[in-house]
Amino acid sequence: MSVSNPKTFAAPPAAPTAAPPAETEAGAAPRLSGRLGVASIVLIVVAAASPLGVIGGTVPLAIASGNGAGLPFIYLLATAILLLFAVGFTTMTPHVPSAGAFFSYVEKGLGRRAGLGAAFVALLSYLALEAGVYGLFAPAVDEVVRAYGGPGLPWWVWAAAALVAVAWLGHRNIELSGKVLAVLLVAEVLIVLVLDAAIVFGGGGAEGLSAGFLTPSTVLSGAPGIALLFAILSFIGFEATAVFRDEARDPDKTIPRATYLALLVVGGFYALSSWLLISVWGDTGIVQKATDAPGTLLSETTALYLGTAGSHIVQVLLATSLFACILSFHNISSRYFFQLSGQGIFPAKLAGTHVRHRSPHRASAAATAVVALFLMVAVVAGWDPIVQFYTWFAGFSSLGVVVLMTLTSVAVLVFFRRQGAPAGSWKRSVAPALGLLGLLGILGLILQNLPTLVGNSVPLAIAVVVLILASFGAGAVVAARRPQAKVGAAPAS
Return the pLDDT at 288: 93
Residue 116, pLDDT > 70, answer yes
Residue 463, pLDDT > 80, answer yes
DSSP conformation class of 24 = P
Which of 196-210, 221-235, 258-272, 467-481 shows the lowest per-residue confidence on average (mean pLDDT)?
221-235
pLDDT 10s digits, 32-84: 555 778 888 888 778 778 889 889 888 988 898 889 999 999 999 999 999 99
Listed ranges 115-119, 354-358, 424-428; the one with the highest mean pLDDT:
115-119
How many Å apart are CA 335 and CA 357, to the nearest integer?
Answer: 15
First-last CA distance in the chain: 33
How many Å apart are CA 241 and CA 256, to the nearest integer?
Answer: 8
Residue 31 pLDDT level (bands cut at 50, 70, 90): low
Q: How far is CA 23 from CA 18, 131, 264, in A?
A: 14, 27, 39
Residue 107, pLDDT > 70, answer yes
How many Å apart are CA 191 and CA 180, to the nearest integer?
Answer: 17
Residue 100, pLDDT > 60, answer no
Run of H or E residues at 399? helix 391-418
- CA angle (208, 210, 212) in 5-degree steps: 145
Q: How far is CA 341 from CA 126, 326, 344, 361, 401, in A?
A: 17, 22, 5, 13, 21
Q: Return the domain boundaries, the chain.
A: 22-481
Of 33, 390, 104, 73, nearest to 214 (Cα)? 73
User: 3-state SS of the chain: helix, strand, coil percent to 5?
Assistant: 75, 0, 25
Return the pLDDT at 26: 40
Domain 22-481: what homologous superfamily? Amino acid/polyamine transporter I (1.20.1740.10)
Q: What is the arithmetic mean of pLDDT over 250-277?
A: 92
Q: Give every CB contact of residue 376 below 8 A, 6+ residues apart in sequence.
A: none
- Which of helix, strand or coil describes residue 32? coil
Judge contact between 339 and 99, C-beta under 8 A.
yes
